[in-house]
Amino acid sequence: MRGGADPFDHHLKRTRMEIFMDDWTARLATPAVLVAIVRGVALWIAAQLAGPARRLHAVVDEPPFLWLFEALTLLGVVMGILILSTQRRADQLAELREQMTLELASVTERKVAKVIEPIERASTRQPFAQEQGPTTKPGRCPSARVPEKC
């Protein structure tokens, strides 16, 4: 490739922050995380509603559940940032892939042109031989049915 660019070095050029973001996005993008979040919300609500009724603990977050809302909002912001940063990295890789495809097409076109050029030169120098009738061995007539033509 041009400029000594290795097509596989995009993983080597990642910054520590990109590695961190990609790793955490991969960890959070699983069904287990979704299940854990739903369970956590259900447990939080159940604990806040049932705890004081059974006199287990005092109410920490009363029913509009503002702390839960704030925690989920923060989680949503963090996940959004992770997704956006990962998408930006994926866009950069797609652009790199597109550039490599264009370079490959260009190199292929040049090589095909080099192969075709001598063939075209040879065909202009020597026109194709005109078709002649069928070749016959000496002493044999090509059309045995019509002896007058022999």
Q: Tell me whether residue 130 is in a domain.
A: no
Give the chain's domain count. 1
Q: Give residue 135's pLDDT band: very low, low, confident or very high (50, 70, 90).
A: low
Contact between residue 112 and residue 120 where contact means Cβ atoms under 8 Å apart: no
The whole-number pLDDT of residue 11 equals 58
- Flag whether pLDDT at 131 surpasses 60: no
Q: Tell me whether residue 80 is in a domain.
A: yes
Note down the domain range covering 61: 10-98
Q: Tell me whether residue 91 is in a domain.
A: yes
pLDDT tens track for 78-116:
999 988 988 988 898 899 999 999 999 999 999 999 999
Q: Tell me whether residue 92 is in a domain.
A: yes
Angular region, 71: left φ>0, alpha ψ -120 to 50, beta rest: alpha
Angular region, 109: left φ>0, alpha ψ -120 to 50, beta rest: alpha
Q: What is the rounded distance in angstroms from the CA atom of residue 90 to the CA atom of residue 70?
A: 30
Q: Tell me whether residue 110 is in a domain.
A: no
- Flag whether pLDDT at 136 surpasses 50: yes
Q: Give residue 73's pLDDT band: very low, low, confident or very high (50, 70, 90).
A: very high
Q: Tell me whether residue 148 is in a domain.
A: no
Average pLDDT rounded to a whole number, residues 65-85: 91
Q: Tell me whether residue 112 is in a domain.
A: no
Q: Which of 11, 2, 73, 6 minimizes the C-alpha distance to 37?
A: 73
pLDDT tens track for 117-129:
988 888 887 665 5
Q: Tell me whether residue 124 is in a domain.
A: no
Q: What is the residue-averaged pLDDT of the chain? A: 80
Six token digits for residue 34? 């979704």
